[in-house]
Amino acid sequence: MFKVLVSDPISDLGIQQLMEAADVTVDKKTGLSEDELVAIIGDYDGLLVRSQTTVTPKIIEAGSKLKVIGRAGVGVDNINLEAATKQGVVVINAPDGNTITTCEHAFAMMMALARHIPQAYAKTVSGVWDRKSFLGVELRGKTLGVLGMGRIGSEVAKRAKAFGMSILAFDPFLTEERAEKMEVKLATVDDIVRNADFITVHTPLTPQTRNMISRPQFEVMKKGMRIVNCARGGVIDELALVEAIDSGIVAGAAFDVFEKEPPQADHPFLTHPKIIVTPHLGASTVEAQENVAIDVSEQVLHILRNEPFINAVNIPPVAPSVMNKLQPYFNLGEKLGSFASQLVDTAIREIVVSYAGDLSDVDTQPLTRYIVKGVLTRYFGSDANIVNSMHLAKTRDVNVVVTTSSKTQGFTNLLTVLLKTEEGEERVVAGTLLQGYGERIVQLGKFSVDIALEGHQIVISHNDKPGIIGHVGTLLGQNDVNIASMQVGRSTAGGNAIMLLTVDREVPEEVLAHLSSLPEINSAKEIALV
């Protein structure tokens, strides 16, 4: 008989499957302190929480029988994942339970924005009958730009079509084929910014999406467009948005999220007459709260019964002998994946991971998860982790292929990551661990290199001509960018060549643009491994 403790308020309907299971006993004890939980957790096989309980290392260590911790929701910030992983406890969440709820909230915000509903309500209940000040617009016939076509963005697009809107959709994993099936038009961020009447954001917050819409984007928008953010604060530059509204570019905005929550009392959104705000209510419905509890309860039951499960957010237990062999390569693999993903410009369709040497003799699945996570972190940020990375790849139609070989090109072990894109682009990065030197890149495309896999790097593709290295060094020096190390390679004299630089700090975009414009240089990209 398994015992599960529910330490936060969760409806009986949400955990009904657990409560009715013949092999499970459920105890509901809410409002417990850390010491009170420590005193009783040793009797339980599973722990089910929402956001109130903070699951500390002390609690996890005391849970000698714990097999699983379930979070009835998406975020797991209140659970110490490192402590759970060390103790072999699987942590799961419910990422799908709030999809429809958040979608509907985004659509409600869009409709409220189009028709000035909150402002009109406030004036009416204050005793003022004013029909002239709130002339709205129809959704029918308008162009909606959807930034992020994951679960929520796809559902928003589906509903917008029912309202007679045309959909421009951007997602780094959205293909022409999938876009056609969804009856949306695949577009770039620039296409959406320039042509949309409404924009709705459904992306995670990553270095690539932070301030995705800022002053340069507002400057080229259609006058009178409207913008909705029910995803993550920080994706849209808040101060630049206020400026765009005040200057007449943007007609209004509706935000459920802020860069810092709760916002300061003097935040300009809170008093602006053309901005609608709600306190992060995207997942706040009775149905969503029940759905996430139902989803996580089902997975808890699977884990207790040693059945296949999904939605784990930490690495499942691995045999110690395998872990000892793989662990030194986890960081290398994740960095190689990250490096490779920053080289591509179009949607990734396939990730090919090749292991050579001693690693070809063991189950490399845990290491593959780190590599795939490294690739996907560029697009999903902290939402990608070492357990859900394979699932994320599958849901975005990204094929993951693993090959092994005994040939190591002179290295004890060699990891190679090949990314194939929808446009036929291929990027190859290979790395290894060198005794005394640590993690190294040893191959970039068809060129052999040897450089540390760390910090900020610049990858320059150029023609092999005299003076190019000098031009690059001079330009970086003039912009206070110090070069820590350099590797160069070429196919033939005067042919294609590559330059790989490690620099001491982030390279400004204008400097990269200037580098790319130098004679004989084909491209310059910054790779951040920090």
The domain that holds 28 is classified in CATH as: 3.40.50.720
Does 433 fall in a domain? Answer: no
223 and 168: one domain?
Answer: yes
Closest CA to 43 of 71, 66, 16, 61: 66
Dump the DSSP string for 246-295. Answer: HTTSEEEEEES--SSSSPPTT-GGGT-TTEEE-SS-TT-SHHHHHHHHHH
DSSP state of 222: P
pLDDT at 409: 66
Global pTM reads 0.78
Does 448 fall in a domain? Answer: no
Burial class (CB within 10 angstroms; exposed 0-12, middle 13-18, buried 19+) of 174? buried
- DSSP-derived 3-state class of residue 412: coil
93 and 218: one domain?
Answer: no
Which one of 50, 116, 202, 232 is the catalytic residue?
Answer: 232
205 and 123: one domain?
Answer: yes
204 and 255: one domain?
Answer: yes
165 and 262: one domain?
Answer: yes
d(CA 336, CA 200): 33
CATH of the domain at 490: 3.30.70.260
397 and 264: one domain?
Answer: no
* Residue 526 annotated to the active site: no
69 and 157: one domain?
Answer: no
One digit per residue, pLDDT tens: the chain, 530 residues?
Answer: 999 999 999 888 889 999 999 999 999 999 999 999 999 999 999 999 988 899 999 999 999 999 999 999 877 878 998 888 778 789 999 888 889 999 999 999 999 999 999 999 999 999 999 999 999 999 999 999 999 999 899 999 999 999 999 999 999 989 888 899 999 999 999 999 999 999 999 998 888 899 999 999 999 999 999 999 999 999 999 999 999 999 999 999 999 999 998 999 999 999 999 999 999 999 889 899 899 999 999 999 999 998 878 888 887 666 667 778 888 899 999 999 999 999 998 889 999 999 998 888 888 988 999 999 999 999 888 778 776 788 889 888 999 999 988 776 677 789 999 999 988 889 999 999 887 778 999 999 988 889 899 999 999 998 988 888 898 989 999 999 999 989 888 878 878 889 999 999 899 889 999 998 988 899 999 999 87
pLDDT at 3: 96
Does 474 fall in a domain? Answer: yes
* Residue 261 annotated to the active site: yes
* Residue 471 annotated to the active site: no
Does 44 fall in a domain? Answer: yes
Does 516 fall in a domain? Answer: yes
- Starting from the edge strand earliest in sequence, which strands make up the sheet with 46-49, in order? 24-28, 2-6, 46-49, 68-71, 90-92
Which one of 20, 131, 261, 307 is the catalytic residue?
Answer: 261
Tell me how many domains the chain contains.
4
| Secondary structure, 3-state, 141-194 | CCEEEEECCCHHHHHHHHHHHHCCCEEEEECCCCCHHHHHHCCCEECCHHHHHH
85 and 112: one domain?
Answer: no
R_g of the chain, CA atoms, integer Å: 26
Which one of 151, 280, 391, 471 is the catalytic residue?
Answer: 280
CB of 408 within 8 A of CB of 418?
Answer: no
pLDDT at 318: 66
Does 434 fall in a domain? Answer: no
272 and 378: one domain?
Answer: no
Which domain range does residue 493 map to? 454-530
Of 424, 446, 476, which closes a domain? Answer: 424
| Residue 341: both structure tokens together | 């993903």
pLDDT at 302: 92
292 and 254: one domain?
Answer: no
160 and 123: one domain?
Answer: yes
Buried b (16+ CB within 10 A) or exposed e, 307-333: eebebbbbbbeeeeeeeebbeebbebb
Does 437 fall in a domain? Answer: no
Closest CA to 96 of 387, 353, 495, 395: 395
| Residue 416: both structure tokens together | 């190679």
105 and 234: one domain?
Answer: yes
Does 429 fall in a domain? Answer: no
pLDDT at 237: 97
Buried b (16+ CB within 10 A) or exposed e, 425-456: eebbbbbbbeeeeebbbbbbbebebebbbebb
